Structure 1
Amino acid sequence: MDTSVIDLPTPVAGRLRRPGWRDPRLLAGLAMVAASVLLGSWAVRTAQATVPVYVTRAAMVPGDRITAEDLAVVDVRLGTVNLDHYLRADAPLAADEVVVRAVGRGELVPASAVGSAEDLDLRPVSVTLERAPSGDVVPGALVDLWFTPPAPDDDGATTDPRELAAGLTVAEVTTSSGAFSASGGGAVHVLVPSALLPDVLTALAADGTVDVVPVLGTGG
């Protein structure tokens, strides 16, 4: 029985072709790498970028004029705060601007805390104290004013203390010095709205005592 063998052609292994510079896949990969490098570099530069912003050297109260001597400059990193809300040091200070609300010592100066003196409807009033004020009564703190009538007469009539004004800003504190400083009162200068001036001034001129009561948490 005759058998015949048919010789089949030997398969040839295909060779991988090296991509050329015009290969779309190679160009797309290079573009992605370049974009990643640029994005990373931009993110690093942005994270390290800072903007100069003003902070107070001491507590400032409504009516205080804004001057460079009262402020210090700190560099604030972008992205940590909204810098549009604060007074930036890379812009000139206006000559006629004043503080319109209290700003604590070492705080960034809010843009909303700066304005014109014409916007203020406050008047400084000195309240003489018979006793030394609380340690919380400091410039920039908020206080309430209370009036206590004098001791009742022989008829036994009494009048309870009453609140004259609430949430007034302390502008200045002067204390007695010397041997009697512990018991002496000194004076506290508070900023009183014009509408409350008649009642406050009447109480200060009347027989009785006007006390300055601090609002806790505002004298830091």
Structure 2
Amino acid sequence: MQTAVLELPAPAANRLRRPSWRDPRLLAGIAMVAAAVALGSWIVRSAQHEVPVYAARHALVAGEQLHADDLVVVGVRGIALDRYLAARGAVATDLVALRTVGAGELVPRAAVGDGSSVDVRSVAVPLQAPPGRDLQVGAVVDLWFTPRPDADRAAGAPGARPIAQKVVVSEASSGDGAFTTGSGATVHVLVPTAQLADVLEALAADGTVDVVPLPGGVPGSEG
């Protein structure tokens, strides 16, 4: 008996084809690489780009009107421009400092504005000696009142007491200028209006008002 053998066709080998430039997957890969390169280049250029902003030439205190001579233009990199006073054109004539800005510091936008929002008043306090370097403009100090020693004072009467804390020096005289009181010097401090009555009463009372600098209270100082 003869057996018929069926001959099946041999399977055709799949050949690898070179990718075509029209292959969507290839095009998508090229686009992703190009986008990554462009993004990296933009980040590098942005980091190297300097933005001109204003810095304080000297210490600025609350209520002080800003002039061009009070500021210096510096170029900085990698900062949020909307947080600082940009050096674009002339300085507005109606800008005042709303709080202390140390010498050399970048001027934050929130630190300048309309003078009507400044809730402090400058008060002159006489000193018994010329002010030291820790009583320069912008320094933070406490004011203490010490009544004159008097044996007839009632028992339990208060002695030395603070009358204003963490106020800012706006001006200091060495004793030979227009703000001299008697033979001593004078320092001007910015007193919040809520504490103004206590300070003025202490200055008019029979006693001494002392200006006590706070440690590290000099703006722009090192350490």
When normalised by structure 1's length, the TM-score is 0.80
Structure 1 residues 160 and 38, CA gap change in structure 2 (3 angstroms)? same
Cross-structure match for 1:83:
81
Q: Which position in structure 2 is the counterpart of 1:22?
A: 22
Report the counterpart of residue 6 of structure 2 in structure 1. none
1:213 aligns with 2:212: yes
Distance apart, 1:126 and its partner CA:
0.9
- The amino acid of 1:163's aligned partner reads P
SS in 1 for 2:210: strand
Structure 2: any 5+ residue segments left out of the alignment? Answer: 1-10, 177-182
Deviation of the 1:98 alpha carbon: 0.5
> Offset at 1:105?
0.2
The CA RMSD measured in Å over matched residues stands at: 2.7
Distance in 1, matches of 2:153 and 2:146, equals 18
Q: What does 1:1-220 align with in structure 2 at a 5 Å threshold? A: 16-78=16-78, 81-90=79-88, 92-153=90-151, 159-176=158-175, 185-219=184-218, 220=221
CA-to-partner distance for each residue in 1:95-148, whole Å, 9 max, x for gaps? 211001111000011111111111123221111111344432221111111111
Amino acid at match of 1:142: V
1:20 to 1:109, Cα distance in 2 relative to 1, 3 A: same
Query: Percent of aligned pairs with the same residue?
Result: 55
In the TM superposition, what whole-angstrom CA distance separates every residue of 1:56-90 from its partner, at most 9, and x where no partner exists? 00001111111222111112213xx3332211112
**Matches of 2:206 and 2:172, distance apart in 1:** 23
TM-score by length of 2: 0.79
Q: Would the aligned equivalents of 2:131 and 2:173 in 1 still touch at CA under 8 Å? A: no
- CA 1:85 to 1:28, structure 2 compared with 1: closer, same or farther past 3 Å? closer
With over 3 angstroms needed to count, the CA separation of the structure-2 counterparts of 1:16 and 1:155, relative to structure 1, is closer
Q: 1:22 to 1:146 in 2, by over 3 A?
A: same
Question: What's 2:180 paired with?
Answer: none
What is the DSSP-based 3-state SS (H/G/I as helix, E as strand, rest coil) of the residue aligned with 2:105?
Answer: coil
Q: 1:24 to 1:189 in 2, by over 3 A?
A: same
Aligned residues: 204
Task: Describe the SS at the equivalent of 1:163.
Answer: strand
CA distance in 2, matches of 1:201, 1:32: 71
Assess, with a 3 A threshold, how the Cα gap between structure 1 residues 29 and 70 changes in structure 2: closer, same or farther: same
User: Aligned in 2, Cα 1:155/1:15: closer, same or farther, shift over 3 Å?
Assistant: closer
